[in-house]
Amino acid sequence: MSKQYEFKASILPYLLVLPQMVIVFVFFFWPAGQAVLQSFYLQDPFGGKMIFVGFQNYSKLLADPDYWQSFSVSTAFAVCITLGAMAISLFLAIQANKKIRFASFYKTMLIWPYAVSTLVAGVIWLFMFNPNVGVIAYVLKHTFHVDWQYLLNFNQAFLLLTLAATWKQLAYNFVFFLAGLQSVPATLIEAAEIDGAKSGTRFWKIIFPLLSPTTFYLLVMNLVYGFFETFPIVHSITQGAPGKSTAILVYKVWRDGVINLDLGSSAAQSVILMLLVIMLTVFQFRFIERRVTY
Amino acid sequence: MKRVILLMAVLLMAVGAYAQTTVEFWHAMTGHNGEMVQAICDQFNASQKDYKVVPVYKGSYSDTMNAGIAAYRAGQPPAIIQVYEVGTATMMAAKNAVKPVYQLMAENNMKWDSSIYIPTIKSYYSTSDGRMLSMPFNSSTAVMYYNKDAFRKAGLDPEKPPVTWPEFFEVAKKLKASGMEGGFTTNWISWIQLENFSAWHNLPFGTRSNGFDGLDTQLVFNSPIHVRHFQNIYDLSKTGVFIYGGRENKANPLFTSGRVGMHFESIGGYGNMKATCKFDFGVARLPYYPDVPGAPQNSIIGGASLWVFNGKSKAEYKTVAEFFNFISQPETQALWHKETGYLPITQAAYELTKSQGYYEKNPGLEVAIKQLLNKAPTANSMGIRFGNFNIIREIEDQTWEEILAGKISVKDGLDKMVREGNKTLREFEKLYK
Amino acid sequence: MTEQQKIDRTAHRAKAIRRMFPHIMLWIGIVIILFPIYFIFSASSHTSAEIQAAPMPLNIGPHLIENYRQALFKGTQNMGTPVLTMLKNSLIMALGISVGKIVISLMAAFAIVFFKFPLRNFCFWSIFITLMLPVEVRIMPTYKVVADLGLLNTYAGLILPMIVSATAVFLFRQFFMSIPREIAEASQIDGATPMQFFRYILAPMTRTPIAAMFVIQFIYGWNQYLWPLLITTKPEFYTLLIGINRMMSGADVQIEWQIAMATTLLAMLPPVIVVVLMQKQFIAGMTETEK
C-alpha cells in the first residue's frame, strides 16, 4: 500500500469522510458511550434515580449461571446455523453453477428468498409448528405420534429455531457462494477435468481453496447472524421457552432492557456484546487484510 | 345553497379544530376492544369542541408501557397511557413522572367522587390511604370457560359446571375420556393460578397485604395449598388431561378449536370467545378447594388503568380530566362493558346494565362481576402490588415450564419462584427506598 | 441381452442419474424454500376461524381476494393502517437507507483509499469498528440519542441510525483497492481534479458494486424491525414489518391470522422484485468486490 499513488489535498478528504464520521459518532459512539456509562448504574426506568454501583451489573451477570447458559445456547445455535446453512448453500450453489439446463431459473428460485426478512421467517415457522394452530405440529402429533410441544421440550425448541434461522440464511449464503464459484476461472475447472480428476477431488483440491475467502467471509457473517440477528426468530417462536433455555444473548439484552426495564444489566450486556463483535470484526479484518496485501 | 352551508360547516369545524387542545392516548387494545377505544374517543370528541383525545395503538401492553417510558425519558410522553396491572407498582414508584388522578381531578375542579368506583377496582389503583393514582379503564377478572357441547357429549350437565377443584379435575378426565384431546388448559399461569387462586382462597400471595403496605414485602405463594394445586395440575399433565398452551393468552386456540373442554381466561376475552368459538360455551366461577377456610373469597382484577404523565400544559390536563370524567359516566361504562366484556368500573354502570336486562342474555358477564363482589375484600384479596412484577411473572412462567418439563419438582419449583421473585423485590426496594 | 449390453445400459443409467442429480437436488432445495411460502399463501386465503381449527386446510380458500383487499386498503381491526400506507413508509425507509448509505460510503471509501491525510487511520478504524454491530445490542441508548435530537416519528430518525454500519464503506474500499493506481495518477497528470476523477472515472467503474450494494442495503433497510418498532409511535409512520408485529400482538384478542399472512406476503414482494430484477448485477457485484 505504501508505494501506491495518493492524491494530495488538505481539506477535501475530510469533507468526504465527514458525513460518515458524523453518523458514526452520533449514532454509534455516543450511544455506545451511554451504554458503558449506564452499565455502572442501577437505574429506575423513568430516569429519575441513578445509583452508582461500579461493576456490580457485570459481576452479577458473570456470576449468574443463566447468563452462561444463555451464552452457551447462543454459541451452539450460531454454530449449528452456520454449519447447516453454509453446507446446504454450498452444495446447492455447486449444483446451480453446473452447465445444466434451466440453470438461471434455478438460480433465481434460490436467490430471491434473500429478500425474506428474519421476522417473516420466524412468523412462518411459528405458524407451521405452533402446537396450538400449526399444521405441521398437527401432522407430527396425529400422524407420527410425536409428542410435539416445543414450549416444554428444549431439544424441539432448539431444533425448530435452528431450522427457521437456517432456512432464512440459505439464500444469502447461496448468493455469495455462487458469486465465488463464478469467479473461479472456467479454464481451471476444465483443466482439472481433462486431467481426469474425479469430481469430488477436483472440488476439494482445486475449487474449494479458491473459495476460501468467500467461505471465510461467510463463516464470520453467519456466526454474527446466528448470534445477533436471529432475535426476531426467537422473539416470534419461543420467547425463550421452555423456561429461559432458548433465550439467546441478544434476546436477553432486549428482554432485560426493554421489557423488564433492568437498564443497568441490559447496558452491561450490550457492552459485553459490543466487545465480542468488535473482536470478531478485528479478527476477520486481520485475515482479509493479509490476503489483500499478499 | 346546500353547498354553501356545508362549506360554512366545514370552515367552522376547521376553526373549532384550531382552538382545540389535543392530547394523545396510548393504548394496547386490539380487535373489537380497539375499535371501542376509538368509538369512545370519537364520542368524547363529538360531545364538545374544546378538547380532543387521539387514541394511538402501541402494540402489546409491554410495548405500550415501554414506548411510554422511553418517550417520557425523551421528553415527549403522551398525556394518557394505558398501563397493565403488572406495571402499576413501577408507575406508582415513579413519583416525578406521573400526575396522580386524584390530584388531576382536584386541580381541574372536577365534580368527582372516587367512591363511585367498585371497591376492588378502586383499591387496586389507590394508595393505602385511599387516594386514587390512576384511572381504572379495562378491568377484568379470571373466569372459567367451558364447552357446553363437549359437556353434553361427555354426558355431563352443561348447566352444571364444576364448582370445586376436585369436581373440576373429575370433569376434565371425563372430557378427555369422551374423545377430546385433553380436558383443560389455562392462560396466564401467574395471574389466574397463583394471584387469583390466592385471593379466591383468601391466602396471602405476598406479605404486607400483598405489597400494599410497603416495599419490604416477601412472596409467600409456596404454601402447601398452592403446592397441592400445582401438583394436581402437573399430575394431570402427565396423562394429557391438562394441556399446556403457552404463556400469556396463547392457550386460547386449544379451547376455541374444541380440543380441550375447559379453559381459564380473562373475562376481557369474552367478546373474542364469542367471535371464535363455533360451539356453545359457558362462563363459570373459578373452582376452589372446599377444605380451605374462607374460600371462595373474591377474585382480583387484571387488565389496565390509565396513567397521566407529568409535565403537560394546563389545557392538556383539563382535557384529560374531562375525558376521565366522560369515561366514568354510567352510559359510557355500560357501553364499554357490554361491547368488550371488561367489567364496568362503577357501581352505577353495573346497575344500569342490569336494569337494561343485559345479563339475562349474557349471564357470563355477570358471573365475573359477582365473583369480584363475592365478599368484601380482605388484605389477601384487594389486589397485588409488587415492584418489578413483570420480572416476577416471567420467573413464574419459566419455572412453570420447567416443572411441566419435569426438570424440577412442583414443590421445589414454587420455592424457586418465591426465592427468585424475592430477589427482584429486594432490588426494587433498594432502588426506591 | 449380452453382457456388453448390460454394462452399456448400467453405464447409460449411471450417466443419466448423474445428469439428473443436480436437477433433483436443486428441486429439493426449491421445495424446501417454497413450501413455507405456499403455506402462508394458503393461510391468507382462509378465514381466521378456519386457520385456527386444527388442522388448517392447505388448499387455496375462497377468501383470497377479500383478505388481500382488506390488507391493502383497510388493515386489521386493531391495526387500521392499510398496507398501502405502510408500503410507502417501507419504501422511503429502504430507499433512504440504501441511497444514503451508498452515497456517504462512496465518499468515505474514496477518501480513505485515494487520499493520504493525518487522521486517515483514525477515521478508518472508527468506521470499521461498526462493521458488524447490529443495532439490537445498542438499541436503548440509540433511542435516547434520536429522541434528544427530536427525530422520533420522522423519516430521518428511521433512516440515519441505520446507515451507521460500515459494510458499504468496507466493500467499496475493497473494490477501490483493486483498481490500479496508475489510473488515478494518469488522471491527475491530465489535469483532472480528484473530484473529477471520482465523478468521471471512478464512479462509472464502480457501477456494478454499487448495484450490488443497493440490493443488499435495500433488503437490509426493508427488513428493519426492532428499530422502527421503537421509534414510530404514529401509525402514519408504520412500516410493513411493524404492521405485521402490530397485527400479531395486543391484549385479550385473537390474531387475525389471515390478514397478517396476507400482509406478510405483500411485505415480501417489493424486496423480492428488487432481488430478482437486479440478480445479475448483484452477483457480478459480489464477484468483483469479493476478490
Q: Prior bond to B296 cis, omega within 30?
A: yes
Instruction: Tell which wins on pLDDT, B363 or B102.
Output: B102
Per-residue pLDDT band for C35 (boundaries 50, 70, 90) equals: confident
Residues in chain A with CB shorter than 8 Å from the CB of B90 are 45, 261
Task: Give the closest of B401, B430, B432 to A243, CB-based.
Answer: B401
The region of weakest confidence among B54-68, B329-343, C108-122, C198-212 is: B54-68
Per-residue pLDDT band for C291 (boundaries 50, 70, 90) equals: very low
Residue C166 has a pLDDT of 80
Question: What integer is the mean pLDDT of B31-47?
Answer: 90
Question: What integer is the mean pLDDT of C220-245?
Answer: 84
Q: Which of C81, C242, C252 is best to mutate for the B interface (most B CBs within 10 A)?
A: C252
Question: What integer is the mean pLDDT of A44-57?
Answer: 86
Residue C281 has a pLDDT of 87
The yes-or-no verdict on residue A126 having pLDDT over 70 is: yes
Residue B293 has a pLDDT of 93
Per-residue pLDDT band for A290 (boundaries 50, 70, 90) equals: low
Rounded Cα distance, A91 and A177, in Å? 9
Q: Do A278 and C133 touch (CB under 8 A)?
A: yes
In percent, the amount of chain C with pLDDT more than 90 equals: 18
User: What are chain C's partners, defined as 3 or more CB pairs within 8 angstroms?
Assistant: A, B
Per-residue pLDDT band for A293 (boundaries 50, 70, 90) equals: very low
Residues in chain B with CB shorter than 8 Å from the CB of A239 are 247
pLDDT in tens, B248-288: 888 988 998 899 999 999 998 887 788 788 899 999 999 99
- Identify the contact set of chain B against chain C, taking CB-CB distances under 8 A: 26, 28-35, 56-61, 63, 67, 70-71, 73-76, 84, 138, 140, 249, 252-253, 256-259, 266, 268-269, 271-272, 275-276, 278, 304
Rounded Cα distance, B358 and B361, in Å? 6
Q: Which residue has the cell 368459538?
A: B277
Question: For chain B, what is the mean pLDDT?
Answer: 90
Residues in chain B with CB shorter than 8 Å from the CB of C143 are 70, 74
Q: Do C230 and B67 touch (CB under 8 A)?
A: yes
Residue A168 has a pLDDT of 92
Question: What integer is the mean pLDDT of C204-232?
Answer: 88
Q: Do C143 and B278 touch (CB under 8 A)?
A: no
Residue B316 has a pLDDT of 94
- C78 touching B (Cβ < 8 Å): yes
The yes-or-no verdict on residue C56 having pLDDT over 90 is: no
Catalogue all structural domains in chain B, each as residue range(s) with its CATH number. Answer: 16-140+301-368 (3.40.190.10), 141-300+377-432 (3.40.190.10)
Which helix or strand (DSSP H or E) is residue A41 part of?
A: strand A41-43
Q: Prior bond to B253 cis, omega within 30?
A: no
The yes-or-no verdict on residue C81 having pLDDT over 90 is: no
Residue C11 has a pLDDT of 81
The yes-or-no verdict on residue A206 having pLDDT over 80 is: no
Task: Give the closest of C29, C131, C223 to A118, CB-based.
Answer: C223
The region of weakest confidence among B87-91, B170-174, C66-70, C247-251 is: C247-251
CA dihedral C149, C150, C151, C156 (to 10 degrees): -70
**φ, ψ of residue C161 in degrees (nearest 5):** -65, -20
C46 in Cβ contact with C258 (< 8 Å): yes
CB pairs under 8 A between B and C: 107
Query: Which of B107, B142, B193, B232 has its CA nearest to residue B393?
Result: B193
Instruction: Tell which wins on pLDDT, C287 or A35.
Output: A35
In percent, the amount of chain B with pLDDT more than 90 equals: 68
Per-residue pLDDT band for C289 (boundaries 50, 70, 90) equals: low
Q: Do C287 and A111 touch (CB under 8 A)?
A: no
Task: Give the closest of C144, C249, C253 to B272, CB-based.
Answer: C253
Residue C173 has a pLDDT of 87
Burial of B359 (0-12, 13-18, 19+ CB in 10 A): middle
- Tell me which residues of chain A, numbers 140 to 179, contact chain C at a CB-CB cutoff of 8 Å: 142, 167, 170-171, 175-176, 178-179
Instruction: Tell which wins on pLDDT, C246 or B160.
Output: B160
Instruction: Tell which wins on pLDDT, B202 or B15.
Output: B202
ipTM score of complex: 0.84
Residue C171 has a pLDDT of 83
Q: What is the 3-state secondary structure (H, E, C) of chain B?
A: CHHHHHHHHHHHHHHHHHHCEEEEEEECECHHHHHHHHHHHHHHHHHCCCEEEEEEECCCHHHHHHHHHHHHHCCCCCCEEEEEHHHHHHHHHCCCCEECHHHHHHHCCCCCCHHHECHHHHHHCECCCCCECCEEEEEEEEEEEEEHHHHHHCCCCCCCCCCEHHHHHHHHHHHHHCCCCEEEEECCHHHHHHHHHHHHCCCCCEHHHHCCCCCCCCECCCCHHHHHHHHHHHHHHHCCCECCCCCCCCCHHHHHCCCEEEEEEEHHHHHHHHHHCCCCEEEECCCECCCCCCCCCCCCEEEEEEEEECCCCHHHHHHHHHHHHHHHCHHHHHHHHHHHCCECCEHHHHHHHHHCCHHHHCHHHHHHHHHHCCCCCCCCCCCCCCCCHHHHHHHHHHHHHHHHCCCCCHHHHHHHHHHHHHHHHHHHHHHHC
Task: Give the closest of B72, B90, B244 to A149, CB-based.
Answer: B244
In percent, the amount of chain C with pLDDT more than 70 equals: 92
Per-residue pLDDT band for C283 (boundaries 50, 70, 90) equals: confident
Domain with CATH 1.10.3720.10 in chain C: 70-289
Q: Do C250 and B272 touch (CB under 8 A)?
A: no
The yes-or-no verdict on residue A2 having pLDDT over 50 is: no
Rounded Cα distance, B252 and B185, in Å? 9
Determine the residue of chain B that is closest to C146 in CA distance.
B74
Work out the minimum CA distance from C253 to partner chain A, whole angstroms. 15
Distance of CA B93 to the CA centre of its chain: 20
pLDDT in tens, B221-245: 999 999 999 999 999 999 999 999 9
Q: Which residues pair with B219 in a beta bridge?
A: B206
Residue B288 has a pLDDT of 97
**What CATH topology corresponds to C70-289?**
MetI-like fold (1.10.3720)
Residue B5 has a pLDDT of 58
Rounded Cα distance, A188 and A194, in Å? 10
Residue A1 has a pLDDT of 41
- Tell me which residues of chain A, numbers 239 to 258, contact chain B at a CB-CB cutoff of 8 Å: 239-244, 258
Q: How many other CB atoms sit within 10 Å of the CB of residue B10?
A: 10
Instruction: Tell which wins on pLDDT, B14 or C33.
Output: C33
Task: Give the closest of C78, C144, C229 to B57, CB-based.
Answer: C78
Q: Do C275 and A91 touch (CB under 8 A)?
A: no
Catalogue all structural domains in chain A, each as residue range(s) with its CATH number. Answer: 88-247 (1.10.3720.10)
- Return the C-alpha cell found at B339: 361491547
Q: Which of A50, A135, A153, A261 is best to mutate for the B interface (most B CBs within 10 A)?
A: A261
Residue C54 has a pLDDT of 62
In percent, the amount of chain A with pLDDT more than 90 equals: 32
Residue A294 has a pLDDT of 34
Among A47-51, A210-214, B103-107, the range of highest mean pLDDT: B103-107
B207 in Cβ contact with B213 (< 8 Å): no
The yes-or-no verdict on residue C273 having pLDDT over 90 is: yes
pLDDT in tens, A11-29: 899 999 999 999 999 988 9
- A11 touching C (Cβ < 8 Å): no
Residue B271 has a pLDDT of 79
The yes-or-no verdict on residue B408 having pLDDT over 90 is: yes
Residues in chain C with CB shorter than 8 Å from the CB of A270 are 137-138, 140-141
pLDDT in tens, A233-273: 998 898 888 888 999 998 998 888 878 888 888 889 989 98
Question: What integer is the mean pLDDT of A20-39?
Answer: 90
